[in-house]
Chains A and B, each alone.
Chain A
């Protein structure tokens, strides 16, 4: 039993039709409901909800503050490697992209860590492509060992691993794993991932199950917006979240909503999502699930990011580089995608304060993972 059993009970076209058939009254019912269902979520992401955007934003703002207070968590990505054996049509690291590859060695990792620490960060997200032989379990475990003394929270966004591998990394000090489905449209997924381990749809969609079995503290879900109809993809994300919350009730969840960005050798999005629709999706996720964390990267513009702080976002990155060594050692290496908001962490922290929120740099302590083997 995994999410696949549930997923196979749904048909993409039926779901899509159902979302696009929602009416104003469905939206109003969803807004007024005490406990909201997946049908309510469909209404909230439907075109029928767009006229209710201000009302949705007000509600999302209030619900978010109630749960998360006037705080925004700060995190930063650190790219370990851009080696990759997958072909992903939308990604700068794709195997077919003929560019020099780089994987950080110990010295380079520590040199990047030093710069990131100076920015004030205590919450780091390790990122890589998928190259199992050079950048596999052993590499990650070693990297975590190196990094662990410097950060109280270590998250990872790398290729999907097996359950026992996740458990091993958790023992080493990993708390959070982000793994995006990219799209829940099975056929479309195949066209965007023609080669490499990533082409196996079911292995990817079952990754959160493996994370749950491994007892990972927090996992992040999401799709790459632009590959398929974002509304239908977001419904499946919500369905996945619902299943996971029930099944792995000890794990925490976060959602991201990356929109396709320009990069070397990039594709044109099949379906564009407007800024209003992004706001709609963020509010819909929040109104549907009051406890889920919502994370925003530097893919989005300054204006949008400034204003989304109050609308439902709970964590944000700033000053990010999306290439291995980008902070110090190889500033010109190939990046995964172009950053849109290039302001420094301190500038973003100031914007957050101006909005009446406190930027939170530390919200985890290694002492709370004493059941693992981490020396504190």
Chain B
């Protein structure tokens, strides 16, 4: 079972709530995905409205809310938004997103590290969205992060695990759970991330934008489970029998 801070998750599929054709479709798809941690953008919800459409549809025992700071451009804005989210949604969990670049939504490593330090001190459970940078991951650990969330490829690109080599280093070195976030375009990408030992994946666009989000959500659920099982069962490495001239036979004649 996956444990992050004080919570234990039986599902290793985390999900986003944007881009769906309606809140009802979103809820049905997320229920079908089995996801227990759903991230919601502070900018999309009206925290002063008890009947906010998105929040109402996420009001279900299966879901833990993970507010995110999408739209924040620096640490100061993100910390401010985090405090507002904590108060309004009564959770100290936070997906930290700082992307000053609104085109590719690339995370700012410097501001993210600063904000993580500050938020961890303030008692937040911080899940920062970052580039697949192994050194940054270690620095975030020192800063008190709860997980690291390196990207597979750019947000919403559906391009899969373009950062695979760095994800492997991160997974090898990490002392906190590694959640592969962004770019996962197909269940096979999610399965691959799980096979290499990611602790969880976060998927949004690939489910929300598919023609049948509920069916796609189930496909991701199964892929994540399959990938995790394969990881636990230990994948047999491909070994090639070599038939070329032996290089060590001389040892026998010594």
Contact = CB atoms under 8 A, between A and B. Distances in A.
A122 B44 CA distance: 11
Contacts of A70: 19-21, 208-209
Given A69-B209, A249-B103, A368-B81, A356 B21 contact: yes
Contact of A68 (B19, B22, B43, B101): B19
Contacts of A353: 22
B20 A371 contact: no
Nearest to B206: A66
Contacts of A371: 74, 76-77
B102 interface: yes
A171 B243 CA distance: 73
Interface in A356-375: 356-358, 360, 362-365, 367-371
A245 B103 contact: yes
B76 A358 contact: no
Contacts of A245: 103
Interface string A53-65: 0000000000001
The binding surface of chain A is classed by DSSP as loop
A250 interface: yes
The binding surface of chain B is classed by DSSP as loop
Interface in B14-46: 18-23, 42-46
A69 B20 contact: yes
Query: Number of contact residues on A: which range applies?
Result: 20 to 34
Interface in B75-106: 76-77, 80-81, 84, 100-104
B218 interface: no
Interface in A222-279: 245, 249-252
Contacts of A186: none
Contacts of B81: 365, 367-368, 370
Interface in B43-85: 43-46, 69, 71-74, 76-77, 80-81, 84
Interface of B: 18-23, 42-46, 69, 71-74, 76-77, 80-81, 84, 100-104, 156-158, 205, 208-209
- Considering the complex of A and B, which 8 residue pairs feature the smallest CB-CB distances, nearest first? A69-B19, A370-B80, A70-B21, A252-B102, A368-B71, A365-B43, A367-B84, A367-B81
17 contacts: A65-B209, A66-B158, A69-B18, A69-B20, A70-B21, A71-B18, A152-B43, A250-B102, A291-B103, A291-B104, A356-B21, A357-B21, A362-B44, A365-B81, A367-B77, A368-B72, A368-B81
